Amino acid sequence: MTALELTPEERKRYEEDGFFARKSVFGPDDLERLRAAAERVAANAKHAAAAKSEAVERAEASTEDDYAIDGNRYVEAADATVQYEHTQGSETIRVIEPFHHLDPIFEAFVEDPRLVVPLCGVLDADRIALWTDKINLKRPREGSGFRWHQDSPYWSHVCSHCDQLPNVMITLDDADRDNGCFRVIRGSHAKGFLPGIQDGSALGPLFTDPEVFDEKDEWLAELPAGSLVVFSAHTVHGSQPNESDRARRAIVLTYQPADEPMFKLDGVKNFEKGAAA
């Protein structure tokens, strides 16, 4: 067993709790490159989204490319969904999905052995593929929270293997409760798909009904920059707003069994454990 491989204790935690964490996997040099790439992606996405919005206004693009759901704005640009902060009229980007194709640093990052090897362990496979990827920018004093949810209901309409979609979150900044760190509900994955909120909104059913889990089982990912949290697609998770003067940027990559196509991009992107190691 190499130092990167999934340990028996991590496997147990993933199976019983629905997640496990590794601290400080990526060092200062890695983080400098990743943060710079994140800002390039954000700048390029903002430019592409603005251009698409202008094209919609000139009737040169479909209104489906610049739209709102439950009052929240989204723009389809650069082969990505660009989601803006929820404040009315905000021009601050909240999330970009997918994003790895927008910068060569991230093109290479998705096959980094520090990610691929343990995720192969989670899926008990020598080969895995990328399902999707997103970046959460969570700007100081602006970054909004994410209500409790599972990822699996969102993907279930296009995927028949939601039980095999492990996520890995990578912290680009030190994370704590003040800047809206990632949170999970321990053991919430065990029952698979959980009921959503039936409040008449379009997105309500994608947020987990708080009556079906206990918030006392919450675990806060108060972790240094460069750490990982690997969690199941069925694990209930979320975050609070960033009320600090510090950024809380994070990447979430989702993998799947080999040879399966990506969610929002065309094609298959496979990685081999042996090649990564």
- Using pLDDT thresholds of 50, 70 and 90, give the confidence band for residue 275: low
Phi, psi of 6 (to 5 degrees): -60, 130
Query: Is residue 1 scored above 70 in pLDDT?
Result: no
Domains and CATH numbers, the chain: 8-27+98-276 (2.60.120.620)
With residue 182 as reference, give the H or E element that holds it: strand 182-185
Is residue 96 within 8 Å of residue 82, measured between CB atoms? yes
- Using pLDDT thresholds of 50, 70 and 90, give the confidence band for residue 38: very high
Which is higher by pLDDT, 233 or 275? 233
The end-to-end CA distance of the chain, in Å, is: 11
Estimate to the nearest angstrom the gap between the alpha carbon of 201 and the chain centroid.
23
* Residue in this structure with the two tokens 């994070």, named with its chain if needed: 250
Peptide bond into 104 cis (omega under 30): no
**What token pair was written down for 169?**
């979150």
Q: What are 194-246's pLDDT values in tens digits? A: 999 999 999 999 999 999 999 999 999 999 999 999 999 999 999 999 999 99
Q: What are 51-78's pLDDT values in tens digits? A: 998 988 888 878 889 999 999 999 999 9
Q: What is the pLDDT of residue 60?
A: 83
Q: What is the pLDDT of residue 116?
A: 98
Is residue 46 within 8 Å of residue 93, measured between CB atoms? yes
User: How far is residue 218's CA from residue 17's CA, in Å, rounded to a whole number?
Assistant: 11
Reference 79, options 102, 110, 54; nearest CA is: 102
Query: Is residue 170 scored above 90 in pLDDT?
Result: yes
**pTM for this structure?**
0.96
DSSP-assigned states of every residue in 101-123? GG-HHHHHHTT-HHHHHHHHHHH
Query: Is residue 88 scored above 90 in pLDDT?
Result: no
Q: What are 94-149's pLDDT values in tens digits? A: 999 999 999 999 999 999 999 999 999 999 999 999 999 999 999 999 999 999 99
Phi, psi of 22 (to 5 degrees): -130, 125
User: How far is residue 36's CA from residue 28's CA, in Å, rounded to a whole number?
Assistant: 12
Count of beta carbons in the 10 Å neighbourhood of residue 170: 25
99: DSSP letter? -
Beta partners for residue 256, in sequence order:
129
- Alpha-carbon distances, residue 45 vs 30, 77, 87, 99, 190 (angstroms): 22, 7, 19, 9, 37
Count of beta carbons in the 10 Å neighbourhood of residue 256: 26
Q: What is the pLDDT of residue 274?
A: 75
Q: What are 147-158's pLDDT values in tens digits? A: 999 999 999 999
Query: Is residue 276 scored above 90 in pLDDT?
Result: no
